[in-house]
Amino acid sequence: PPRAATEKFTTPAEALHTVFGFDSFRGDQAEIIDQLVAGNDAVVLMPTGGGKSLCYQIPALVRPGTGIVVSPLIALMQDQVDALTAVGVRAEFLNSSQDSATRNQVERDYLNGDLDLLYVAPERLSSEATKRFLERGTIALFAIDEAHCVSQWGHDFRPDYLALSELADRWPDVPRIALTATATDATHKEITTRLQLGDAKHFVASFDRPNIQYRIVAKNEVRKQLLSFIKTEHAGDAGIVYALSRKTVEQTAEFLKTNGINALPYHAGLDAGVRARTQSRFLREDGVIIVATIAFGMGIDKPDVRFVAHIDLPKSVEGYYQETGRAGRDGAPANAWLAYGLQDVVQQRRMIDQSPGDLSHRRTLSGHLDAMLALCETVDCRRVNLLRYFGQTSTPCGNCDTCLNPPEAWDGTIPAQKLLSTIVRLLRERNQKFGAGHLIDILRGKETPRATQYSHTELKTWGIGADLSDQQWRGVVRQMLAQGLLATSGEYGTLILTDAAASVLDGSRTVQLRTEPDRPLRRTPAAKS
Ligand code: ADP
Ligand code: ZN
Instruction: Report the separation in Å between the CA atom of 135 and the middle of ligand 2, taken as the mean of its atom positions.
Output: 52
Q: Whose CA is nearest to atom 10 of ligand 1?
A: 49
Q: Whose CA is nearest to atom 24 of ligand 1?
A: 22
Cα 84 from Cα 146, distance rounded (Å) = 19
Kindly state if the Cβ of 384 falls inside 6 Å of ligand 1.
no
Query: Tell me, what's the pLDDT at 517?
Result: 58
User: Alpha-carbon torsion 219, 372, 144, 162, what sign?
Assistant: negative
Kindly state if the Cβ of 54 falls inside 6 Å of ligand 1.
yes
Instruction: Report the separation in Å between the CA atom of 307 and the middle of ligand 2, taken as the mean of its atom positions.
Output: 17
* Ligand 1 pocket test target in 14, 22, 24, 298 with most atoms within 8 Å of CB: 22
Q: Is 173 helix (H, G, I), strand (E, B) or coil?
A: coil
Per DSSP, which regions of 282-395 are E strands?
Answer: 289-292, 307-310, 334-340
Atom number of ligand 1 nearest to Cα 24:
23
- Residue 128 phi, psi (nearest 5): -65, -40
Kindly state if the Cβ of 52 falls inside 6 Å of ligand 1.
yes
Kindly state if the Cβ of 48 falls inside 6 Å of ligand 1.
yes
Kindly state if the Cβ of 50 falls inside 6 Å of ligand 1.
yes
Ligand nearest to the CA of 49: 1
Cα 26 from Cα 287, distance rounded (Å) = 26
Cα 7 from Cα 63, distance rounded (Å) = 10
Q: Whose CA is nearest to atom 23 of ligand 1?
A: 25
Instruction: Confirm if 467 and 390 have CB atoms less than 8 A apart.
Output: no
Kindly state if the Cβ of 51 falls inside 6 Å of ligand 1.
yes
Atom number of ligand 1 nearest to Cα 53:
6
Query: Tell me, what's the pLDDT at 305?
Result: 95
Instruction: Confirm if 526 and 401 have CB atoms less than 8 A apart.
Output: no
Cα 479 from Cα 254, distance rounded (Å) = 32
Q: Whose CA is nearest to atom 17 of ligand 1?
A: 51
Q: Are strands 42-45 and 201-204 parallel, antiparallel or unpaired?
A: parallel
Q: Is the whole-model pTM more than 0.80? A: no
CA distances from 62 to 80, 104, 142, 462 (A): 19, 26, 14, 75
Cα 450 from Cα 446, distance rounded (Å) = 10
Query: Tell me, what's the pLDDT at 187?
Result: 84
Cα 320 from Cα 338, distance rounded (Å) = 9
Angle at 243 between CA 237 and CA 245, to 5 degrees: 145
Kindly state if the Cβ of 301 falls inside 6 Å of ligand 1.
yes
| Ramachandran region, residue 391 (left: φ > 0; alpha: ψ -120 to 50; beta: rest) | left
User: What count of Cα atoms within 13 Å lies in the side-chain half-sphere of residue 132?
Assistant: 3
Atom number of ligand 1 nearest to Cα 29:
23
* Ligand 1 pocket test target in 16, 17, 19, 20 with most atoms within 8 Å of CB: 20
Ligand nearest to the CA of 303: 1
Cα 270 from Cα 273, distance rounded (Å) = 8
- Residue 240 phi, psi (nearest 5): -125, 135
Its ipTM equals 0.98
* Ligand 1 pocket test target in 32, 84, 301, 323 with most atoms within 8 Å of CB: 301
Q: What is the DSSP string of 403-437?
A: HHSPPPEEE-HHHHHHHHHHHHHHHHHH-----HH
Instruction: Report the separation in Å between the CA atom of 49 and the middle of ligand 1, taken as the mean of its atom positions.
Output: 6
Kindly state if the Cβ of 25 falls inside 6 Å of ligand 1.
yes
Q: What is the pLDDT along the chain (529 residues), one digit of tens a residue?
A: 455 555 899 999 999 999 999 999 999 999 999 999 999 999 999 987 789 999 999 999 999 999 999 998 777 788 889 989 999 999 999 988 889 999 999 999 999 999 999 999 999 998 999 999 999 999 999 999 999 899 876 667 889 999 999 999 999 999 999 999 877 777 889 999 999 999 999 999 989 999 999 999 999 899 999 999 999 999 999 999 999 999 999 999 999 999 999 999 999 899 989 998 999 999 999 999 999 997 777 667 788 999 999 999 999 888 899 899 899 988 899 999 999 998 898 889 888 888 887 787 788 788 889 889 989 988 889 999 999 888 788 999 999 999 999 888 889 999 999 999 999 999 999 999 999 999 999 999 999 999 999 999 999 999 999 999 998 898 899 889 888 898 887 667 789 998 889 999 999 999 989 887 554 444 433 333 3
Indicate the DSSP class of residue 356.
Answer: S
Per DSSP, which regions of 38-84 are E strands?
Answer: 42-45, 66-70
> Exposed e or buried b for every residue in 329-358, given b needs 16+ CB within 10 A?
beeeebbbbbbbbbbbbbbbbbebbeeeee
Kindly state if the Cβ of 49 falls inside 6 Å of ligand 1.
yes
